[in-house]
Amino acid sequence: MTTMKVGDFLSIVAPAYEDKGGLEGQRPALKTKTALTIRDRLVGDLKQGAIVPPVVIGVLCLDHEKLKKIENAETLDGLIDQISELPHESVSIIDGMQRTTAFLEAGVEDGDFFSRSKQRFEFWISGNLSSLVYRMLVLNTGQVPWEIARQLETIYAQFLQKIKSEIGNDIAIFKRDDERRRRESAQYQASVIIRLFLSFASRRMEFDLKDRIAEDFARIDTIEASSHDDFLPAFIETLELLAAFDREFSRAAPSGLDKTARIQEGKAFFNSYPALVGFVNAIAVAIMDEPGFGVEWGDVRTKLSDVKKSLNLLLVKLERMNPEDLVQFLELPLLNERLMVKSGQVGRFERDFFFKAFQKAIRNAHRLESMQPCWLA
């Protein structure tokens, strides 16, 4: 923790948000009369010298020698001077987006505020992205449901950068301001990746906003999982498998089904979130057990290796098929028929359906002649 001028703080974090339209866009504007009154009061207090709780900044620093040299406030300040030279994906605000917005508004109203005002700032500096994700989750356990997802978006540049560095060009992730939609296989919105991350960590496919207890357990599972070094690599390898199946399924030619069919070609298979989360959760449960049971982290790598071995057998089979054979293998008419089952909770039905289907695929990949047994799970 250190004390620094607000202007110096903003110069460190601002570059990380230049491609997102500014700091204010990270959370929906608070428009209620009460919220605006509170914000105006905070800005007014800041201009008069008020001190607010420290804003927490996450820094991904892969130079471990620099980390070892942080022994006191002076050496920390020296490292902070170098943070502005890091790639913008390496710096983010973990906790304090609304306070930062208030700083900006105070600076607009008072030209000397940035250079005059000093605040406390807390730097979490790590060479391991999992550690920063874990700290972010711990800091936000008291916030409203799904604020974990919003706060994760403040560090998703580092999160997605890690995925890109591991997977390379085999996957495309669109940010919110890219204004791009999925047109080909292995293309996903950043928000979808984040939701899959939370689902993978908690081994739950949905969060019932009316069931606070279930949310609390999901949050605990997510915090516990993210604190282990094997977790993030396991999630990244799961995304690689997802992208591989997405590419193979997408080669399936149009099936000739009528326009009322939900999935008319392989390219549309992973367009839906239920299919994505069903695939990811099937792997999560296979390697980390069902929700509520403790994770045997010493066995995760071995179990993941077994899952990959099984699914790679299926991938090899798919790679050898031409587009017409893939259509027959996917059994799209049967799949669409199963998805037309009347249900009062369509989303929950489809998530459970794909989850059970991919569980069966993992167990029986070596003997699947088509996806029919999976669709009948």
Q: Are residues 344 and 227 in the same domain?
A: yes
Contact between 186 and 170 (Cβ < 8 Å):
yes
Q: Are residues 280 and 314 in the same domain?
A: yes
Strands annotated E in 61-214:
91-95, 118-126, 172-174, 187-189
Which span out of 140-149, 205-214, 293-302 was modeled with the highest average pLDDT?
A: 293-302
Q: Are residues 32 and 77 in the same domain?
A: yes
**How far, in Å, CA of 189 to CA of 180, rounded?**
8
- Give the mean model confidence (pLDDT) for residues 120-129: 85
pLDDT of residue 64 exceeding 70: no
Contact between 26 and 106 (Cβ < 8 Å):
no
What's the pLDDT band for 22 if we cut at 50, 70, 90? very low
pLDDT of residue 2 exceeding 70: yes
Q: Are residues 253 and 176 in the same domain?
A: yes
In a domain? residue 363: yes
Which of these three, 68, 95, 127, is where a domain ends? 127
**How far, in Å, CA of 40 to CA of 44, rounded?**
6
According to the model, what pLDDT value does residue 162 have? Answer: 81
The Cα angle at residue 150 between residues 280 and 27, in degrees rounded to 5: 145
Which span out of 30-39, 94-103, 250-259, 356-365 was modeled with the highest average pLDDT?
A: 356-365
Q: How many domains, in total, are found in the chain?
A: 2
For residue 155, count CB atoms less than 10 angstroms from its CB and return exposed for 0-12, middle for 13-18, buried for 19 or more: buried
Q: Are residues 214 and 295 in the same domain?
A: yes
The Cα angle at residue 139 between residues 151 and 100, in degrees rounded to 5: 55
Q: Are residues 111 and 209 in the same domain?
A: no
Q: Are residues 100 and 207 in the same domain?
A: no
The Cα angle at residue 65 between residues 5 and 298, in degrees rounded to 5: 110
Backbone angles phi, psi at 230, to 5 degrees: -80, -15
In a domain? residue 34: yes
**How far, in Å, CA of 119 to CA of 110, rounded?**
16
Q: Which domain holds residue 321?
A: 149-375
pLDDT of residue 324 exceeding 60: yes
In a domain? residue 137: no
The DSSP string of 117-160 is -EEEEEEEEES-HHHHHHHHHHHTTTS-TTHHHHHHHTTHHHHH
Q: Are residues 257 and 192 in the same domain?
A: yes
Beta-carbon contacts of residue 58 (< 8 Å; ≥ 6 apart):
91, 92, 93, 94, 124, 126, 132, 135, 136, 155, 158
Residue 145: closest CA among 204, 93, 58, 101: 204
Long-range residue pairs from 19-22, CB within 8 A, at least 24 positions apart, any chain? 19/175, 19/177, 20/175, 20/176, 20/177, 21/177
According to the model, what pLDDT value does residue 355 have? Answer: 96
Other beta carbons less than 10 A from residue 133's beta carbon = 27
Q: Tell me the pLDDT tens digit for each residue of 353-375.
A: 999 999 999 999 999 999 999 99
According to the model, what pLDDT value does residue 319 have? Answer: 95
Q: Which residues are registered as beta bridge partners of 92? A: 58
Q: Are residues 165 and 309 in the same domain?
A: yes
pLDDT of residue 242 exceeding 80: yes
According to the model, what pLDDT value does residue 176 have? Answer: 65
Q: Are residues 90 and 179 in the same domain?
A: no
Residue 241: closest CA among 195, 306, 294: 306
**How far, in Å, CA of 52 to CA of 92, rounded?**
19
In a domain? residue 135: no
In a domain? residue 215: yes
Segment (H or E) for 2: strand 2-5
In a domain? residue 216: yes
Q: Tell me the pLDDT tens digit for each residue of 127-176.
A: 777 777 777 767 765 454 444 444 455 556 677 778 888 888 889 888 76
In a domain? residue 138: no
Of the listed ranges 195-209, 244-258, 266-280, 298-312, the least confidently predicted one is 195-209
In a domain? residue 53: yes
**How far, in Å, CA of 376 to CA of 62, rounded?**
48
- Give the mean model confidence (pLDDT) for residues 33-44: 78
* Residue 233 DSSP code: H
For residue 320, count CB atoms less than 10 angstroms from its CB and return exposed for 0-12, middle for 13-18, buried for 19 or more: exposed
What separation in angstroms does the CA of 158 have from each of 51, 97, 128, 132, 334? 29, 17, 10, 9, 41
Residue 23: closest CA among 3, 5, 6, 4: 6
Q: Are residues 264 and 349 in the same domain?
A: yes
Q: Tell me the pLDDT tens digit for each residue of 244-267.
A: 999 999 999 876 777 777 888 888
Q: Are residues 113 and 155 in the same domain?
A: no
